[in-house]
Structure 1
Amino acid sequence: MKIKKKLIPVICATLLFTGCVKQQSAVENKEEIKQEVAGEFAKKSEEEQSRIMDEFQKLIEGDMSEIEVMKFVNNNIDTMSKENASKLVLGIEKVQGERMYKFFSDDIKEELQKLDYFVDLNKLESYNIESKELKEFLTVAKKSGYKLIAPEGMYDLIKDYEFLKNEYSEYVTEEIADYLNIVAMESKEPLMDDGEVVISWDEVYKRLAASEKFLHDYPKSEKVEVIKPLYLDYVMSYLYGANNTPVFDYSMNQDEADTMNEKAKASYLSIDYKASSFGQLVKTYIEILEKNEFKLTDEVDEYRKGIYEKLNM
């Protein structure tokens, strides 16, 4: 009986706690529903959205700066449907593409080349830049959604897709979110630099698989024309490498076939073959490589050529 007496308070406490949790969950669920409903009501009517989109179209066809275009988008995007929000974000991308080099003058390039360090726009405050013109350009470039790169030591200005992804992915359709994710990876860490593949073989395959999935999921997307060439670049790089990072290391003996690079080989043997159609082709390719002791024989070369040709249709 003593045991039973001790159990009763424990059971009661447990029931009380369980009841509290249920009650709390119910309150949280109601709050989530309220927020969802409030979010729906926050969306403007189709008529209002249409008016905003017309205004936006006139804006990007005019001479408004990238910063002003972004300000318009930021003031309206959370009240728009995902489809219209996507059009707003793609509008920013379009404006950037048209105006990117208009203010990236030769004088600015010369000023940049004079510096003895690389300028990361995310770290502007840490640089002591004397030229007011250059400092103003860098500040505007960052606010306009650009970034600097220096392939082969020469400065260039590109769209900072990672910025667009981080700022707007939550508002757009799944299609455009997937698109931004793919191009943001390339924007953050380019595949190539100075004739060399500068990301890991596993990363090349990861991007390849993501690009292939996009092409499969959204065959009619207007962004196919951007993703398809990128996809083929990844395919070519994964199969062949680059001048300074070939998949098959050059043999010092002319009579001996080139042997597969160990890092590339490790990637080929460990990737998720089911993640892409390309992966399925690589799985068969591995059998041919093993048969040829991972050397670049005529049979191996012909098969990898066939893989690229099949995917480049």
Structure 2
Amino acid sequence: MTSSMYSFKNKGIRTLLTATAIAMLMQTAVAPVAGIASAAPAADSKVTSASSAAIYKSFQNMLYKKDGLPAADRYLESKISQVTPYHATLMVLQLENARFKALTAITDRMLVPNVQDQMQKLYKWNDSFTQLMSRTKDTSLRSLLQQARDSGYRLVTIEGSLYPIMNYAAFEKYTSYVNKDIKQYIRIMAVETSNISTEDGGLMIGYQDMLNRALNQEQFLNDYPKSNRKQRVQMLMNEYTLYTFYGLDNTPLFDYDTNIMAANAQKGYKAVLQRNSSGDSAFLKKLNEFMDVVTESKFEKTEAVENWLDQNVSRNEYSNQ
């Protein structure tokens, strides 16, 4: 097996790790996180600004050491109830940034051909890092798998290879302490990483699930227009908008041969529109207009449908450049 076969497949995990997102995360990983509103000390009367700041400083000292992610996470978990919401939010976002920055290096280590071969021989469907660790006697491999797990990643198969990705479920233990926007952001991202939406140019979730995710992303953007994580959620929603109105290469919305809209998409889109009032949702209003146009065309991708798409959902507008 050659190393080229283990090249990083951006298309399969575009929703999770777009090139723009990675660049942004790496730029901000060691910098102060801007755009977080200051908060009063937590309800616990023992929490003071000074004690909270001291914990924050100790956390940073751990986080930015080489291979410091596991220790920083353990420290944060033990101390987060003793800091202000402001510092809690700041530390959680810095932990996320650091995990993103470290992900590239640990991915490269796992994609080394002999390492990938060892993992593939041990792997069973839906295995976790812990399960894989229990099957190997190779101390070096076990150490790598443990580091990946304890650094906040989960194991997935993408296009036939085994990858570490962000494990947002590992952030859920912090949601009671952070600001409301970050609590919702973590929930949105936990859904994405627990059940990946696309792989190898194909849609891996149902159409209703896809639309519901887009609606949750839109709600976040409406509720928290100044959130520090607005740009990342916007990028995610851009992806879902393109999935909704165009489909993917291997799951096109309109069949390549017949130009007819996928039957399951027709049913799913109608069901979501029937259950939800468009109200303040620009996404649902646009979807409703789209369904009117395609219904009139008898669900065929006619010139009228293509013109509507060009005018209302331009690929260029929603592509994450």
Q: Which residue of 1 aligns with 2:255?
A: 249
Instruction: Tell me the residue number matched to 1:305.
Output: 310
* Paired residue secondary structure (2:278): helix
1:226 aligns with 2:229: no
In 2, the alpha carbon distance for the partners of 1:122 and 1:132 equals 14
Matched, 1:158 2:165: yes
User: 1:44-84: per-residue Cα shift (whole Å, max 9, x none)?
Assistant: 10111122222323332333521100111012101122222
Cα deviations by residue, 1:87-146 (Å, 9 ceiling, x for unpaired): 121122122122234344125334223446346226617952232222232223222211
Structure 2 partner of 1:202 = 208
Q: Does 1:136 align with 2:140?
A: no
Counterpart for residue 47 of structure 2: 44
Distance in 1 (alpha carbons) for counterparts of 2:129 and 2:204: 21
Amino acid at match of 1:56: F
The two structures have a TM-score, normalised by structure 1, of 0.78
Offset, 1:312 = 3.8
2: CA distance, partners of 1:64 / 1:138:
13
| Range 122-131 or range 155-164, more displaced | 122-131
Unpaired runs of at least 5, structure 1? 1-38, 252-256
Q: CA deviation at 1:307?
A: 2.8
Contact 1:42 1:79 in 2 (8 A): no
Q: Which has the higher contact order (CA 8 A, sep 6+)?
A: 2
Aligned to 1:11: none
| Cα offsets for 1:223-254 (capped at 9, x unmatched) | 12211111011010011111221111233xxx
Q: Which moved more, 1:205-214 or 1:123-132?
A: 123-132
Structure 1 or 2: more helix by fraction: 1
- 1:281 equivalent to 2:286? Answer yes
Gaps of 5+ in 2: 1-41
* Aligned counterparts of 2:175 and 2:310: Cα–Cα separation in 1: 37
How many angstroms apart in 2 are the aligned matches of 1:273 and 1:134?
Answer: 52
1:157 alignment partner, SS class: strand
Q: What TM-score do the two structures reach when normalised by structure 2?
A: 0.76
Give the secondary-structure state (helix, strand or coil) at the position aligned to 1:216: helix
Partner SS for 2:155: strand
Cα distance in 2 for partners of 1:40, 1:221 equals 23
Distance apart, 1:173 and its partner CA: 1.2
Q: Quick check: 1:43–1:78 contact (8 Å CA) kept in 2?
A: no
Higher-Rg structure is: 1
Name the counterpart of 2:131: 124
Other-structure match for 1:254:
none
- Per-residue deviation at 1:296? 0.5
Task: State the percentage of identical aligned residues.
Answer: 23
Question: 1:244-265 CA deviation, whole Å, 9 max, x = no partner?
Answer: 21111233xxxxx511111100
Instruction: Look up the equivalent residue of 1:160 and give its one-letter code.
Output: N
Let me know the Cα RMSD of the aligned residues.
Answer: 2.4
SS in 1 for 2:165: strand
Deviation at 1:153, TM superposition (A): 0.4
Report matched runs for 1:80-229 at 5 Å: 80-104=83-107, 105=109, 106=112, 107-115=114-122, 117-118=124-125, 120-121=127-128, 124=131, 128-165=135-172, 167-229=173-235
Q: Which amino acid counterpart does residue 282 of structure 2 have in structure 1?
A: S
Displacement of 1:287 in angstroms is 1.4
Cross-structure match for 1:19: none
